[in-house]
Structure 1
Amino acid sequence: MPRLLIHRLDPASRLVRLMLAEYGVPVTLEDIKPWTRDPALLEINPAASVPILVDEGGLPVVGVLAVLSAIESRYAPDTVAGLIPESPEANAETWRLLDWVLLKLNDEVTRYVIEEKIVKRDRRGGVPDPSVLRIAKANLVEHMHYFNWLFATRHWIAGDTMTLADFALAAHLSSLDYLGDVLWETSQETRDWYARIKSRPAFRTLLSDRIAGMPAAKGYADLDF
């Protein structure tokens, strides 16, 4: 059985977990704190980041894009459509929005929230910076406006079918939702989409996550939220 090195609220780790669950691949999860820069982690990945996929007898696959590619090549089902579209138009839109979420949304919102609320909390004497969180929250509002517009014009984020881009966005929003940072009341279109994807069996592994000493925000695990 493959082993996956993760942090429970790391959105890249969550994206990989969703993809594996959707494809029906059992995996052993190994929780780590990348910011501690454990020597065992640095030996595998000098960048000290997750996710890392370790399959028996093979070299570790390091980094979210490499892991996604490995999962698609090794485990994508033959009987149903995978998460990466074949048509050029849908494929291009999927990767465009993957780029938006993995780079733009992460760099402007998620990584700051995780740093301030999770990483600093774990470091002795670390205190969240309210000014950083205010900026991240303002940036999230702008992103949600764009996502609302997309979901008002299409069923899934990249078009008519669910793709890896949906799971990428769901991974980020689920991390932020755990911490209570998503204002669903002003994001009805995105909320409707999130309720649909949140109800998928693949999502159950995320909804059961809990961080010691930091309970999930109200409604995090509720399908009717």
Structure 2
Amino acid sequence: MPSLVHYPLDPASRLIRLMCAEYGVPLDLEEVKPWLREEALLELNPAASLPILFTDAEMPIVGVLASIHAVEDFYTPEAVGGLFPAAPLDRAEMWRLAEWVLVKFDDEVTRYLIEEKIAKRDQRGATPEPSVLRAAKANLNEHMLYFNWLLASRNWLAGEEMTLADFALAAHFSTLDYMGDIDWAKAGSETRDWYSRLKSRPAFRTLLNDRVVAMPPSKGYADLDF
């Protein structure tokens, strides 16, 4: 059975968990806090980043991009298509938006909120910086406008079929939703309806059961009708 070194609210790890759940691949999970930079993690990945996927290969598969390709290469069920579109231009649009989420959205929104709200809890005397939280929330609002604009003319984020880009954004949204950083009452209806479709998939159940010690999820986090 493959295993994953992860942190429950790390969106990159959540993406790999979603992919494996969608493909019916069970995972053993080993939880770490990457910001602590513990020796065992640094021996696997000197960058101290997640996820780290162990398959039948002799060496671990390190990082979100390598793990995405490993899951798609090793575990895509033969009976169904994977999350990568077959057509080159459709695949290019998928990667454009996957990169938007994994790099731009993470750098401007998710990473700051995790650092301020979660990582600082392990730093003695550290408290969240209000100005950083305000900037991340402002960035989130701008991204939400763009996602809503896209979804107003498409069934899914990158086009008419569900792709990796949808799972990437849903992984980030699920982390932000857990922390209570998305105001769904003010979110665009297209984005809210899109997330409801993703959240209702069986693959999402494992994420909705996650709980972080001393940090319960926001109200409605596990509700399919929110």
Interval containing the TM-score (normalised by the shorter chain): over 0.9
- Identify the residue that residue 175 of structure 1 maps to in structure 2: 175
Q: Displacement of 1:57 after TM fit?
A: 5.0
Which TM-score applies when normalising by structure 2?
0.98
Q: Displacement of 1:145 after TM fit?
A: 0.2
Q: Secondary structure at the match of 1:15?
A: helix
1:189 aligns with 2:190: yes
> In structure 2, what is the Cα distance between the partners aligned to 1:183 and 1:84?
30
Q: Secondary structure at the match of 1:53?
A: strand
**Unaligned segments of structure 1, at least 5 residues:** none
1:45 aligns with 2:49: no
- Identify the residue that residue 31 of structure 1 maps to in structure 2: 31
> In structure 2, what is the Cα distance between the partners aligned to 1:92 and 1:6?
28
- Identify the residue that residue 213 of structure 2 maps to in structure 1: 212
- Identify the residue that residue 141 of structure 1 maps to in structure 2: 141
- Identify the residue that residue 161 of structure 2 maps to in structure 1: 161
Q: Which runs of 4+ in 1 moved over 6 A?
A: none
Matching residue's letter, 2:136: A
Identity %: 66
- Identify the residue that residue 221 of structure 1 maps to in structure 2: 222
- Identify the residue that residue 20 of structure 1 maps to in structure 2: 20
String of CA shifts for 1:75-132, please: whole Å, max 9, x gaps: 1111111100010121011000001000110000000000000000122211100100
Q: Displacement of 1:223 after TM fit?
A: 0.2
> In structure 1, what is the Cα distance between the partners aligned to 2:123 and 2:215?
15
Matching residue's letter, 1:219: G
> In structure 1, what is the Cα distance between the partners aligned to 2:104 and 2:6?
21
> In structure 2, what is the Cα distance between the partners aligned to 1:58 and 1:27?
17
String of CA shifts for 1:11-39, please: whole Å, max 9, x gaps: 00000000010011111011100111111
> In structure 2, what is the Cα distance between the partners aligned to 1:183 and 1:168?
20
> In structure 2, what is the Cα distance between the partners aligned to 1:38 and 1:6?
13
Aligned length in residues = 225
Matching residue's letter, 2:35: W
Matching residue's letter, 1:194: Y
- Identify the residue that residue 96 of structure 1 maps to in structure 2: 96
Q: Secondary structure at the match of 1:165?
A: helix
1:131 aligns with 2:131: yes
- Identify the residue that residue 61 of structure 1 maps to in structure 2: 61
- Identify the residue that residue 198 of structure 1 maps to in structure 2: 199
Matching residue's letter, 1:162: M
> In structure 2, what is the Cα distance between the partners aligned to 1:223 and 1:108?
27
